[in-house]
Amino acid sequence: MTAVRTVTVVGASLAGLHAARGLRSQGYDGRLVVVGEEHHRPYDRPPLSKEFLTGDGDPGEGLGPLALTDPEDEAELDAEWLLGVRAEALDTAAGELRLAGGRALRTDGVVIATGATPRTLPLPPLDGVHTLRTLDDALRLRAELRAGAERAVVIGAGFIGAEVASSCAALGLDVTVVEAAPLPLVPQLGEEMARVCAGLHARGGATLLCGTGVAGLRGAGRVTGVELTDGRALPADVVVVGVGVRPVTGWLEGSGLALDDGVRCDEGCVTALPNVVAVGDVARLDRPGTARTVRAEHWTSGMLQGDVAARNLLAGSTVERFDALPYFWSDQYGARIQYAGRREPGDTVRILDGDPADGGGFLAVYERDAIPTAALGVDRPRPFMRLRRELARAPQPAGR
Amino acid sequence: MIPVCRIEDLPEGESVRIEAGDATAPIAVFHTDGAFYAIDDTCSHQDASLSDGWLEGCYVECPLHAALFDLRSGEPTCLPARKPVRTHAVTVVDGMLYVHPAVQTVPGRPVHAAPEEAVA
């Protein structure tokens, strides 16, 4: 691309930061602006549902161990940080980004890294009801968990829900997890392994209720309980809603960019415009070699896409595609779950090590026609990573 | 110094994690590339045990996020880790492997350690 003088990264989290780093490491020496809706510099989110909630001591003013940058790093980035500022519109024809408060920013290139925001349920706004995405969310929840809350109800038994429930249990709360599906995590892990992971709740002393929805909340001003669609009522001092996220694309309505549960990109994070790329939770990429598109909410994808997107933005066309094997991990109830690959319904599961039935760790491989498609490890980090490497090298069944 | 194990109990390509007591964090000891190395066991990026990591030459890959560390210097060679892990001296005496934990330093306040006992 010729004459790129200003690149604006919209979103100051992991993916946005790595796109900014990617631009600089690939020699971009023009103006670099990072716009972040939160007041914080980039920080790491995975600990927010885990050690940040259970950790001792005062989290203090700064980001502490959550910080993704340090002064030396920020000096290298040489970026202008516009924090606490929401992006409100993108005028691609004029090359202009409009910010809250009426300010407009001229820019030649744009990295869309606005992430995702928690889904909510149609519930009345009562004190004591939380979602967990940002550091400020975690600070509010943390304060309540330490202010004498005794009973927590977590709505949604996905990874965030399970991690929050695990943290609440570790803090000594009485925890119930409510899941609308008959079994949580089936789309991610398949029924057999989902059943094993659902068993971790009992290991941590939490109660998992599946196959029932939430009918409403009890309480005036502050929540006192959760009413279930099956007629039961659960007393609660704190309620955490963890029912997934939706990508933050509302500000791009009218931009002309294709939006479809995320910003549509080619396989190299590039939108229909070569000077606009998208990374992280908000990006929906073409899957190479398939007719599919995929939006990943994984930490590792966010980090790696930044580099690819930066390269393609600077090249002015897609010279590199993002094709890393999906990988995610979750720490809950003292167990470390790691998953890599692309499992699909009908893949079989073979246990390579350990025994899922005895409640300890194990290593499992998913297969189709004897070809490994994915790996799942619980407390088997070393052999898991070996298997992950083999998977990354293995030919995948067509169409994945 | 902390006894680790007999050298024959740590074959090439293997690692062991030792709890070094209250004075220092857990330490990972590796036998790779024909030598023994010791570094802090906990990845400088996030809580993961490097003794569970993948060994390749003089490098170990964190088993959680694949950050790579040089066992000789403790320096990370790729993201997401950006801070080094501490390295510790290793000696072998009569077929027994020992780790000499590095002196814990407070950033900005170097500590001058007393000369260590010579080890045969």
pLDDT at residue A394, as a whole number: 80
pLDDT at residue A39, as a whole number: 96
Per-residue tokens: A152: 């927590």
Question: Is A303's CB within 8 Å of B64's CB?
Answer: no
Instruction: From B35, B47, B32, select the one nearest B89 (Cα to Cα).
Output: B35
Q: Tell me how far apart the terminal alpha carbons of chain B are, to the nearest angstrom.
A: 13
Please tell me the distance from the alpha carbon of residue A110 to that of residue A254, in angstroms, as a whole number: 16
Per-residue tokens: A298: 């994984």
Q: Residue B108's pLDDT band (boundaries 50, 70, 90)?
A: very low
C-alpha torsion A205→A158→A308→A392, nearest 10 = 70
Provide φ and ψ at A71, rounded to 5°. Answer: -55, -40
CB contacts under 8 A, A 274-313 vs B, are: 299-300, 303
Q: In this predicted model, which residue has the larger pLDDT, A320 or B79?
A: A320
A372-381 confidence digits (pLDDT tens): 999 999 999 9
- State the DSSP string of B2-29: EEEEEGGGS-TTEEEEE---TTS--EEE
Query: According to the CATH classification, is domain B2-112 in 1.10.10.10?
Result: no
A51-60, A178-187, A336-345, B2-11: which has the minimum mean pLDDT? Answer: A51-60
Per-residue tokens: A350: 């073979």
pTM for the full predicted model: 0.90
A248-267 confidence digits (pLDDT tens): 999 999 999 999 999 999 99
pLDDT at residue A106, as a whole number: 97
Asked whether the predicted pLDDT for residue A399 surpasses 80, the reply is no
Yes or no: say if A48 and A152 are a contact pair by the CB < 8 Å rule.
no
B119 touches chain A (CB under 8 A): no
Mean pLDDT (whole number) for A156-162: 97
Asked whether the predicted pLDDT for residue A358 surpasses 90, the reply is no
Question: Is A329's CB within 8 Å of B82's CB?
Answer: no
Instruction: From A150, A279, A275, A168, select the one nearest A224 (Cα to Cα).
Output: A150
Question: Is B54's CB within 8 Å of A329's CB?
Answer: no
The alpha carbons of chain A give a radius of gyration, in whole angstroms, of 22
B33-74 confidence digits (pLDDT tens): 889 999 999 988 877 899 999 898 999 999 888 889 999 999
Work out the minimum CA distance from B67 to partner chain A, whole angstroms: 11
Please tell me the distance from the alpha carbon of residue A295 to that of residue A49, in angstroms, as a whole number: 22
Look at the block and give the residue holding tokens 């000096």: A75
Q: Which domains does chain A have, with CATH numbers?
A: 6-117+246-315 (3.50.50.60), 120-243 (3.50.50.60), 334-393 (no CATH)
CB atoms within 10 A of CB B6: 12
Angstrom CA distances, A100 to A105, A217, A278, A353, A360, stand at 11, 34, 21, 54, 51
pLDDT at residue B58, as a whole number: 93
Asked whether the predicted pLDDT for residue B113 surpasses 60, the reply is no
